[in-house]
Amino acid sequence: MLALLYDVHGNLPALDAVLEDTAKAGAERFLLGGDYAVFGAWPTETVTRLRELDAEWIRGNVDRWCADSSDAPEPVQDAIDRCRELLGPQLVGELADLPEETVVAGFRFCHASPLNDLESFGTELEEDEDARLLDGASEARVVFGHTHVQFSRLGPGGVELVNPGSVGMPLDGDHRAAYALVGDDGGLDLRRVEYDWRASVDAVRERLGEAGEIGARRIEQARFDV
C-alpha cells in the first residue's frame, strides 16, 4: 500500500498523526509530493522524519523558493528566509534538486500540475483549463497538491485528477491533516486525521515570530489567507 503525503509545510505533529494512521492502515511505501518545510515550526525536524520513510520524493514550489525566492510573493519572503536559515544551505540545496515529477505504477505524480509547480486544478471540471494543465500527460491518474484542498474527480478524456490534500496546512475549512492511500489494486482512499492544530499554531508563532504569522493564520483558519 502506498501513502501519498503532500504539503507537510514543517508541521511535525500533523505529520506524526498521519504516519500513525498510515501504520495502522498497513502502508509501507510513501510518495512525497513537495513543500516539506517552509511555514511550519519544525522545518528541519520534519525533513528528518520524512527521511526515515521508504519514500519517493518530488519537489514543490516552496522547496524551489527556499533556494531561489525571486518569483515568490512578497508577503511570504520573510517566512522563506527564516526557513532557509533553519534548514541550512546543504538541506536547502538537496530539496531544491529533487525531481519535479515522477511516474509510479503508471500514475503521474507532480506538485501542482504537469505544466508547472504553481498552476493547479480546481475542484470542478474545466475542460480547456484542465487540458492545458495536463500538458499532454497521458496517464490514467494524475496526482498533485499545491492548493491544499482534498478532492478526486474526472478530467478530460476520463483522466482521474487526485489531490490528496495537505498534511500540515489544509485550506478547505477542515483542520484535520489530509492525505491519501493507494491500494495494491489502485484503489484510492482519501483520509483525514485529527491532531492538535492549535498547538501547532502556537508553536509557529513562538518559534518563527513575525515571519511565521502567515503560516500560523493559515493553519488556524484552515483557509488561504495571504
pLDDT at 103: 96
Helix (H, G, I), strand (E, B) or coil at 192: strand
Strands 177-182, 2-5: pairing is: antiparallel
The residues spanned by each domain of the chain are 2-221
pLDDT of residue 31: 98
The mean predicted confidence, pLDDT, of the chain is 96
Residue 225: predicted pLDDT: 66
- Distance from CA of residue 16 to its chain's centroid? 15
Q: For the whole model, what pTM was predicted? A: 0.96
Superfamily of domain 2-221: Metallo-dependent phosphatases (3.60.21.10)
- Does the structure show a pLDDT above 80 at 29? yes
CA dist 45 → 49, 50, 100, 140, 181 (Å): 6, 9, 23, 35, 24
pLDDT tens digit sequence for 113-165: 999 999 999 999 999 999 999 999 999 999 999 999 999 999 999 999 999 99
- Dist. CA 128–CA 133, nearest whole Å: 9
Among candidates 31, 33, 8, 173, which has minimal Cα distance to 83?
Answer: 8
How is residue 63 written as a grid cell? 522547496
Q: Which three cell numbers stand for residue 110?
A: 507532480
Which regions of the chain does DSSP assign to beta strands (E)? 2-5, 29-32, 55-57, 101-104, 107-110, 141-143, 151-154, 160-163, 177-182, 188-193
172-226 residue pLDDT tens: 999 999 999 999 999 999 999 999 999 999 999 999 999 999 999 999 999 986 4
Per-residue model confidence (pLDDT) at position 105 = 87
Give the span between the Cα atoms of 78 and 57, in whole angstroms. Answer: 26
The pLDDT, as a whole number, for residue 216 is 96
